[in-house]
Structure 1
Amino acid sequence: MLGKKRQLQIEDATVLNQEPINSIIGKDLIIKGELQGDGTVRVDGRVEGNITLQRGLIVGDGAFVIGDVKTENLIVYGKLTGNIFCKSIQIKSSGNIKGDIHTEIILIETGGKYNGQLYMQDEVNSLENSIPKTLHIAG
């Protein structure tokens, strides 16, 4: 039973790669300000500001995000500097994160880099209670 529960959690963490992407921020774009939405966004450029997405965020290889991230699922191929609040996170081999992570599930590929505090949650309810209503980033 425990092995089956763990397998389901890993499958939940990889489902974002199979989801349709609602918006793409291209390599040549720089966004300054907050992003909010219900779907899944892929960032291949640069975002400076907090990101709050209902479904998920993919930080592409070569992308750079500076700001706190709140989403259900997160995949990081590029660089992310900020605190993260999510249900599941994958740090790919090219991924680099600087900031605290609050999550239920974490997968880090060999070569993936992470510097910060890790807070593992057992349930979505405890995760939601730990997420601040307003996210701030230092300038």
Structure 2
Amino acid sequence: MEKNRWSVERDKKGFIHVRLNQKTGNFKTKAEAIDMARKMAKGNRTILRIHTDKSGYDIVDYTSIQTSNEIFDKTLSDVKLARAELTVAKVEKQKRKSELKVAHETEHYIAKRKYDLAKERLKKSKMNLKNALKNNKRALKTINN
């Protein structure tokens, strides 16, 4: 009695297939073949097709999966942007504060409103930076593990 053998193959389009192949199958179990095919599909960012014993197949799309290094780079970029936004918000707040000090009575209300908006922007920028640093720290832990 011949056991089922499974193979992992790549087609012309670059898709990876897991098929039942009695003659040239490299894997004894379907689970081993699927595990290897998933690693290949993630590494090559392609589509994985797992063929069943019947005529159908399941599709798993790994084209949009990001690696942990790419996620870390993105979070690092977000931290840099948040720091730049915080710097801009601080400068704007100082500018609005000086405008408020020299504003005449008629312009005082408008200057006060602009100053309040600048303070709010600074507060949001600080929260953005805090969240970006937290996400970056989480991504760094993912890389190290």
TM-score bucket (shorter structure): under 0.3
Higher strand share: 1
Query: Taking structure 1 as the reference length, what is the TM-score of the superposition?
Result: 0.24
Say which one has the larger Rg: 2
Higher helix share: 2
Query: Taking structure 2 as the reference length, what is the TM-score of the superposition?
Result: 0.23
